[in-house]
Amino acid sequence: MCRKNMGIIALLTDFGLNDNFVGVMKGVIWSINPEAKVVDLSHQIEQHDVKEAALLLKSSYRYFARGTIFLVVVDPGVGTERKSIVVETEKYLFVAPDNGVLSFLIEKDIKRIIQITNEKYFLKPVSHTFHGRDIFAPVAAHLSRGESIEKFGPAMKKMEKIEFSLPQVENGRLVGEIIYVDRFGNLITNIDQATFLRFVKDKKFQIFVRKRKISKISSSYQEGAGGIPIAIFGSFDNLEISLYRDDASQCLNLHKGSKVYIEKAQGQN
């Protein structure tokens, strides 16, 4: 990998901002590499939600400079026998618990997977509950100084994978579900634009969420002025259900796991 821009560390956690955890991790990074540039990708991942962390990381990492190190600490298995890993792709490095949070990475893009075992790089003593501070942050900081990843431990052939829910065609309908609710209350589904277009094939369609029906794809949120729910392909490239300047999750009583149905207009195949 080109070592250019290796000083950028993008931090993704479920720690929130009320406690000192994020600040302490940054302190550890800067004590090892004062020149590191730390980007807060998000610290508001729902507690322990590895799939949500994977979704936000998947939709974000390609927009960063080559050489960025993604430091992920969403770690419900901290203190157990789960592994800590560094994953190298052609452009990036990922430091994370081996719990499936990097499942979105395409196998052909992965160059190396290293298990983090070299305690030389750990803070001592290592806490049973805060590997973000004592293992992950120091490793990311040393990587940002140009340390070779093979120094952190042995190579692994594979990492843990988790299954993500995918839209299915059932009884002539495309059935998806809401997988993320952003801070505006927009409801992001697991139906990506390519899947949607393959199903509707330029035919008329209807989208059903609870008792609401939507018959077109909007190009702006403002098309929902007047309290009308809209469907739009947003920055995730997935179908969103939204209300203009309002919280669709609260107003429509929808949440993660709620179903979304797409039907072709009657008489169209």
Note whether 94 and 186 are same-domain residues.
no
Same domain, residue pair 99 and 196 = no
Q: Are residues 121 and 172 in the same domain?
A: no
Q: Rounded distance, CA 143 to CA 33, Å?
A: 10
Q: Are residues 120 and 65 in the same domain?
A: yes
- State the CB neighbour count (10 A cutoff) for residue 171: 7
**Domain-located, residue 41:** yes
pLDDT at 233: 96
Report, as an integer, the average pLDDT of 3-18: 85
Residues 28 and 122 in one domain: yes
Same domain, 109 and 207: no
State which of 156, 181, 200 marks the end of a domain. 156
Q: Is residue 269 part of a domain?
A: no
pLDDT of residue 189: 97
Q: Structurally, how many domains does the chain consist of? A: 2
In this structure, is residue 2 part of a structural domain? no
Q: Say if pTM beats, i.e. exceeds, 0.85.
A: yes
Shared domain for 145 and 257, answered yes or no, is no
Q: State which residues form the domain around 82.
A: 8-156
pLDDT digits (tens, 9 = 90+) for 156-173: 999 999 999 999 999 999
**Residue where a domain stops, chosen among 113, 135, 156:** 156
Give per-residue pLDDT as tens, 173-223. Answer: 999 999 999 999 999 999 999 999 999 988 899 999 988 999 999 999 999
Whether 163 is in a domain gets the answer no
Please tell me the predicted confidence (pLDDT) of residue 2: 45
SS3 readout for the chain: CCCCCCCEEEEEECCCCCCCHHHHHHHHHHHHCCCCEEEEEECCCCCCCHHHHHHHHHCCHHHCCCCCEEEEECCCCCCCCCCEEEEEECCCEEEEECCCCCCCCCHHHEEEEEECCCHHHCCCCCCCCCHHHHHHHHHHHHHHCCCCHHHHCCEECCCCCCCCCCCEEECCEEEEEEEEECCCCCEEEEEEHHHHHHHHCCCCEEEEECCEEECCEECCHHHHCCCCCEEEECCCCEEEEEECCECHHHHCCCCCCCEEEEEECCCCC
Residue 38 and residue 125 in one domain: yes
Place 28 in a pLDDT band, splitting at 50, 70 and 90.
very high
**CATH number assigned to the domain comprising residue 39:** 3.40.50.10790
Question: Looking at the domain assignment, is residue 3 inside a domain?
Answer: no
CATH number at residue 249: 2.40.30.90
Average pLDDT of the chain is 94
Do 119 and 187 fall into the same domain? Answer: no
Same domain, 223 and 136: no
Q: What is the pLDDT of residue 162?
A: 93
Local confidence band at 267 (pLDDT 50, 70, 90 cut-offs): low
Question: 265 falls in which pLDDT band (50, 70, 90)?
Answer: confident
* Mean pLDDT value of segment 5-17: 89
The pLDDT tens digits for 87-126 are 999 999 999 999 999 999 988 999 999 999 999 999 999 9
Between the two ends of the chain, the Cα-to-Cα distance in Å is 48
Same-domain status, 120 and 180: no
Does 240 map to a domain?
A: yes
Tell whether 242 and 148 lie within a shared domain: no
Residue, of 128 and 269, whose pLDDT is higher: 128
Residue that terminates a domain, selected from 96, 124, 156: 156
